[in-house]
Amino acid sequence: MSVITCIEDLRVLAQKRVPRMFYDYADSGSWTESTYRANEADFQSIKLRQRVAVNMDGRSTATTMIGRPVSMPVAIAPTGMTGMQHADGEILAAQAAEAFGVPFTLSTMSICSIEDVAARTTAPFWFQLYVMKDKGFIHSLIDRAKAAKCDALVLTLDLQILGQRHKDLKNGLSAPPKLTLPNLINMATKPRWCLGMLGTPRRQFGNIVGHVKGVGDMSSLSEWTAKQFDPQLSWNDVQWIRERWGGKLIIKGIIDEEDAKLAAASGADALIVSNHGGRQLDGAESSIRALPRIVEAVGDRIEVHMDGGIRSGQDVLKAWALGARGTYIGRAFLYGLGAMGKPGVSRALEIIHRELDLTMAFCGHRELRGVDRQVLLPGTWPSA
């Protein structure tokens, strides 16, 4: 593909270049995938008001997220197994985000470790934490994130149990991939990916293997992780995690106003309106439909961010207009990574930034601070 003009172009290219099990892992939801699809479709139903004969010169999309200056209100979302989309994927994505001036968030379930990313970037990144039963390991993860000078902890609350994702089960998802005949045949059609993986030692969960007693390889890791996600997670856990961390805290996985109020009361600096990309409760409301109610409920007490379904800069502007002061891209950057590595992530960010900038101008604004619901066509956006 000679000209990449939109995120969909990157998706198509990634599908050609990434082995099926890892492409499907990124590009799928749970059960019927209705919430996954709604995250995108509900953005498309929101229409914009075009204004003319206004000064469009000297535009800026710069703002802040939890006090950190950003070139646009977009962060790289934490995604598991990013390093299976492309060799050293987390490192490459972090470097692209740093160059663009937006935050990168590293997942607990990353292939490259906290230390791997810290050693190869200059700007502080954010670390996403899953709460597991092994509290000693959680203490260690928090301390390692501190040592790496991460400047925010993103605490995910909506993965106490794992949603059923049919494609992952059918593909026999694993990292590194199981060398079954179907997998070998599929990987043989992805030579670029295979060469990259042969050239890196990072092919397993770098934050876990070697850091947990008794987990020294992938076979022991599978048994350990199957038992570790904590179904008893509560808001009491948020308190001790916040105290041990001591820095900026973002609560991820809020889709209900009552939970948003608890997040605001917890002392966190921000919350992320999120249904985990449609990968947990299928049939849950889309993030963009839930956003206005949550902003109405707690927007004066805590900074509200959102993720889920963002595939363009127009989506970013719509979320901003509805009160989100930060957005996160997961699949959009993964498509870029799978398609072209680090240049692909940079291209995804460039596309979203250009679309955001032009759309803001067409709606009659030069700066984000003046953008509110007035840029949206009445009756097309979800009310609080």
Query: What is the per-residue pLDDT across 134-144, written as a single tens digit (0 to 9) for each?
Result: 999 999 999 99
Answer for the pair 316, 48: CB distance below 8 angstroms, yes or no.
no
Angle (CA) 97-98-100 rounded to 5° is: 65
Which of 101, 299, 352 is closest to 360 using CA atoms? Answer: 352
Cβ distance 272 to 21 under 8 Å?
A: no
What topology does CATH give the domain 7-375?
Answer: TIM Barrel (3.20.20)
Range with lowest mean pLDDT among 51-65, 191-205, 210-224? 210-224
pLDDT category at 169 given cuts 50, 70, 90 is: confident
Indicate the helix (H) or strand (E) that contains 154: strand 152-156
312 a known binding residue? no
> What pLDDT sits at residue 223?
62
Q: Looking at residue 266, what is its pLDDT?
A: 97
pLDDT at 175 over 80: no
Position 226 scores a pLDDT of: 66
Residue 244 has pLDDT above 90, yes or no: yes
Give the mean pLDDT of 168-182.
Answer: 84
Quote the CA–CA distance of 175 and 22 in Å, as a whole number.
9
* Confidence category of residue 222, pLDDT binned at 50, 70, 90: low
The span from the first CA to the last CA of the chain, in angstroms, equals 42
Is residue 221 pLDDT above 70, yes or no?
A: no
Return the closest-CA partner of residue 295 out of 329, 265, 320, 328. 320
272-283 confidence digits (pLDDT tens): 999 999 999 999
Q: Supply the pLDDT for residue 179.
A: 81
Q: How confident is the model at residue 178 (pLDDT cuts 50, 70, 90)?
A: confident
Length of the chain: 384
216 is in an annotated binding site: no
276 is catalytic: yes
Domains in the chain: boundaries: 7-375
| Torsional sign, CA 2, 81, 155, 147 | negative
Residue 217 pLDDT grade (very low, low, confident, very high; cuts 50, 70, 90):
low
Q: What is the mean pLDDT of residues 75-83?
A: 97
Strands 63-65 and 68-70: antiparallel
pLDDT of residue 200: 97
Q: Is 283 annotated as a binding residue?
A: no
Active-site hit among 86, 276, 305, 365: 276
Question: In this model, does residue 370 exceed pLDDT 80?
Answer: yes
128 is in an annotated binding site: yes
Q: Is the pLDDT assigned to residue 220 strictly greater than 80?
A: no
What is the C-alpha separation between 270 and 256, in angstroms, rounded?
15
In sequence order, what DSSP letters do the residues of 213-274 get, joined into one string?
TTB-SHHHHHHHHHTTB-TT--HHHHHHHHHHH-S-EEEEEE-SHHHHHHHHHTT-SEEEE-
pLDDT, one tens digit per residue, over 281-340 is 999 999 999 999 999 999 999 999 999 999 999 999 999 999 999 999 999 999 999 999
